[in-house]
Structure 1
């Protein structure tokens, strides 16, 4: 539990409005904020034992305590001003008269300790004239701008700049303006639970918009919001291994890892590999797997064997909207536990750690190859190309039954569409097994005069295979919108239905859109799947398919709006028409998806909404297309869908 001395000093600072103390006093306060009283619970990480308590708050004067009270605390002397903030029709915005003064922000900073409160400076600021201008730094940023490793370590950078509002991208014209847009105004660099509790309580009391960022690896920009206070969990990197973890609630008795919220795919895969194990995580290297990924369900290269990542959660530590720190598992806070396993991040609480199952390491064979219209010295025709793709789709049921996870693309090139497999992922399969699985389709391709030389490699272990096979995804795309569809198994029941599915995808490609897709069947063949909030559409699919539309860089808002409208109600509607009642993956989705409640959450939505209202009645947590978000809207100046505007009730 957090030492209360820091809060007491902050209270005196608040009451008497003293000048900033000398450096020695600052050090004393920060040391006090890190003081830990031992807790008799060996499952907590050390940073989880540093907690805000009622005893700490009781040491404060009433005015200061009002800023940081838990929502379930009966405080009778909170000022009328603070009460009005929480009932306002919009979240408080920096241009509002009621925006917290610098003095109040300094109080928050003081109480947090460790210089945890960071005022946002956009990552691309060195590219613009002003106090941060640095031509050399700008050049370095520009050359590395689409690399996710660059953005994940910045407190506020978002990997989906379209939803930030494109207000401060790298540029060769330093005379342009760099503004915050949807970057949060402040971020808390979290190093303990108490800081999360203080941040949540402060945001709720002050009527601020609150956002959560782990890595910023989100297609819909959920980690940003104009004028927001951000909880940045990226540096919660602790890992604990349990050789034998017993959960009576689900009957599990085996190896497990407890992982801090900031642990990423490349980190946990390596940790598991070193112990001869593997965990169910994503294909993207820099995804914060214990954050929005696993809370949104999380598809994986192991999904056709083990299901979704959320299916393997054993326990979560969470700070809820009232500021309380709780454990959610099969025995306690069970509604919260159900919702957090698939119901979406930035919605029900701030997760500080997750305990997940681990499985024995396995050999993997991976194959990469491509073919393009106009290839083979111009002999691959468009008709043969599309016949070859259509033949491929026939094999989705049989391949997924073998545990295959195929990551494939249809990309438009100067000579025509290119089919790219990167990779065909065969966990537990030998080289001979994998070649045998691909042989029937390859024979059909050869008969169509489509020849190529696949690179097929066998690995003795999962981690080196994953590291070598999956490309580092480019991020920070400034003129792209994406949507997805989980095409149902019913679409493979007849030739006519599969033809309609194929034609819907082909039409999008011929219209210039990029196709990114997966063979995947997360139905947990080994014993069924647990009762959780994962979109039921995941249990009834052979293919998760995305399409992306581009517009010209620098296009006007009117052009972007028209392009997006045509995408959502044209190209995406075509896919919905051939898959009625199916769904989409909320983590790789169209932010304008109509009836997102059904598409992203399916039949789980009514229960999720009920839990949301019970746990977060004041809507402390908001993210676009998240559960309960239909009651709010972000009012943008140009009408484009982004976080760059005031958040108001509808």
Structure 2
């Protein structure tokens, strides 16, 4: 992370940390919510109904009962005057047809050879330039690959594809309310974007209106937050939904605290991450990100700005904690528990079959599987990888991360496997390092998350304890891991448990709770494959590779934020026994399906009719 220190310092300057020990703000005047009588005063009566909350007007009713959302070629598409009024009401925050970053690489008014030359593969796949862009998605496959740098994928031109047509750069609740009302009352598609991190492309949509929440960056520290119903009395942070991991971790560190957030430094942890559950290096101690939520401030589908917590809008509060982003409302702030800072011991190392020989390498991997239950039960978090390259295989601890553990305690957990590696003759340097605080350990340990490659699809499985309780089951899982590697599937695994905190009832996937390994594998296709070839490869990947993982873990599921849009029975996979209740709440809280996200709750009622037939955002959103 040393190379990104200057960048992070610069971006952190946009955040503010208050030390005021105050309760969660709830008054509309204090939080910048829409005042109909004041904010809509003087608006042209012809377009004023488009910005009103509540039930849609008669014109909108016609639009929302049509088969598809409203698009520019439709007669119901809002007039230029309507869009101009939205811009005026949001204080000039509407961005019209934002230019894709890679447009500089193709002939036209945006062509800039010098700028295009900067988009090397290494530069493009870092998340820094994408996270501050109003439309860029870090999943080019889901975008539709219509405007990529030729160094990455020659799209033979630059078209908008799955990018939105209009963006509201929202910095306060009323901006969100106006966009929500406008989308509901016109029938245009609505999407929500923070940083653009999502394997499934949920932050984009062809010709949509996008609410961009990235610059909601305020952070407030609350010394004592009391919620008797949740049984919590202690410190908390109230953060805008644009706050990213590196920002909230630094703010917490300065107060001698930690919060539950992701391992990826640029992920917007207060947005889709926390609403989708969110695993963390602290999950073994405190549960998922959603388990730490105390309250949301949120704009609902009818355009109201509300506080959802244990006593107010409780159904919404339950659903937002794990039910998925862009589904039940648009959060503007989240209040989360803060925990005492703690020591951390980490280990990073790697070895490969090129060094050890093939069978020794796989014997080492097999012996590692035996330690997973003990490591999970100890509250540790291991991010490890298996990468096949031209017939060889590489293993990486990236890292083994033990919060609350001394060097002696962490070493004791690792030593049985280290002994086996030594017996096998595997050469490795465990690089065991102790940190006296979480922030320094996190900064030093985890890799920067990369923008998805243009020829990759990834799927996941939450392997429960049942897959590890006997030698026979561990052997079975190992054989499937090896088989996937031998089929050239890159794998990423997280060995951990998802602690279920006391007095905790929310929408987090029930499949997280018996977890021992959150495991992912990826399939690749030749870069110039046709749509027909890509779809066959992706379907075979689900029907064969992922089905083999499902077959050995009956009743388990996957993680909705790191998954494949082709995941079968996604409702059960991503929410388990919570899905029936979530479907009922979706009908109650968003009866018109204003909010849609690929594989989100209720999304089975809709389909993106992409222009190439692939699972991406390059097409109209229509009812099934």
CA shift digits 1:125-163 (9 cap, x unpaired): 111111111111112233521110110000000000000
CA shift digits 1:59-78 (9 cap, x unpaired): 645422211111248xxxx4
Gaps of 5+ in 2: 1-21
Q: Quick one: which of 300, 312, 316 aligns to 2:292?
A: 312
Distance, in Å, in 2 between the alignment partners of 1:229 and 1:371 is 48
Distance, in Å, in 1 between the alignment partners of 2:312 and 2:24 is 17
Q: Is the 8 A contact 1:405 1:425 kept in 2?
A: yes
Over 3 Å counting, the alpha-carbon distance change for 1:42 and 1:407 in structure 2 is closer
Say which structure, 1 or 2, has more relative contact order (CA 8 Å, 6+ apart). Answer: 2
SS at match of 1:93: coil
SS at match of 1:374: helix
Q: Quick one: which of 488, 497, 511 aligns to 1:537?
A: 511
Q: CA deviation at 1:475?
A: 0.9
Question: What is the aligned partner in structure 2 of residue 109 from structure 1?
Answer: 87
1:39-118 equivalences under 5 Å are 43=25, 49-56=31-38, 57=40, 60=43, 62-72=45-55, 78=57, 81-118=59-96
CA shift digits 1:229-253 (9 cap, x unpaired): 0000000000000111111121111
Q: Is the 8 A contact 1:129 1:174 kept in 2?
A: no
SS at match of 2:70: coil
Q: Quick one: which of 577, 593, 609 aligns to 2:551?
A: 577
Q: Is the 8 A contact 1:371 1:418 kept in 2?
A: yes
Q: Quick one: which of 341, 344, 357 aligns to 1:361?
A: 341
SS at match of 1:332: coil
Distance, in Å, in 2 between the alignment partners of 1:440 and 1:273 is 33
1:166-565 equivalences under 5 Å are 166-171=145-150, 176-375=156-355, 380-414=356-390, 416-524=392-500, 528=502, 530-565=504-539
CA shift digits 1:590-629 (9 cap, x unpaired): 1101100100010000100101100101110001100000
Q: For structure 1, which segment, 238-247 or 135-144, has the greater mean C-alpha deviation from structure 2 after superposition?
A: 135-144
Corresponding pairs, count: 600
Q: For structure 1, which segment, 49-58 or 150-159, has the greater mean C-alpha deviation from structure 2 after superposition?
A: 49-58
Distance, in Å, in 1 between the alignment partners of 2:156 and 2:125 is 21
CA shift digits 1:45-71 (9 cap, x unpaired): 999622223324476454222111112
CA shift digits 1:379-418 (9 cap, x unpaired): x222221121111111111111111100000001245111
Over 3 Å counting, the alpha-carbon distance change for 1:348 and 1:156 in structure 2 is same
Distance, in Å, in 1 between the alignment partners of 2:155 and 2:218 is 43
Distance, in Å, in 2 between the alignment partners of 1:45 and 1:411 is 52
Q: Is the 8 A contact 1:523 1:529 kept in 2?
A: no
Q: CA deviation at 1:330?
A: 0.4
SS at match of 2:198: coil
Q: Quick one: which of 121, 127, 133 aligns to 1:148?
A: 127
Gaps of 5+ in 1: 1-39
Distance, in Å, in 1 between the alignment partners of 2:164 and 2:289 is 29
Q: CA deviation at 1:174?
A: 9.0
Distance, in Å, in 2 between the alignment partners of 1:96 and 1:554 is 34
CA shift digits 1:471-498 (9 cap, x unpaired): 1022141110000000011112222222
Q: Is the 8 A contact 1:319 1:352 kept in 2?
A: yes
Distance, in Å, in 1 between the alignment partners of 2:247 and 2:202 is 23
Moved over 6 A (4+): 45-48
Question: What is the aligned partner in structure 1 of residue 136 from structure 2?
Answer: 157
Q: CA deviation at 1:93?
A: 1.5
Distance, in Å, in 2 between the alignment partners of 1:45 and 1:150 is 36
Distance, in Å, in 1 between the alignment partners of 2:319 and 2:521 is 28
Q: Do structure 1's residue 135 and structure 2's residue 113 form an aligned pair?
A: yes
1:603-642 equivalences under 5 Å are 603-642=577-616
Question: What is the aligned partner in structure 2 of residue 8 from structure 1?
Answer: none
TM-score after normalising by structure 2: 0.93
CA-atom RMSD in angstroms: 1.8
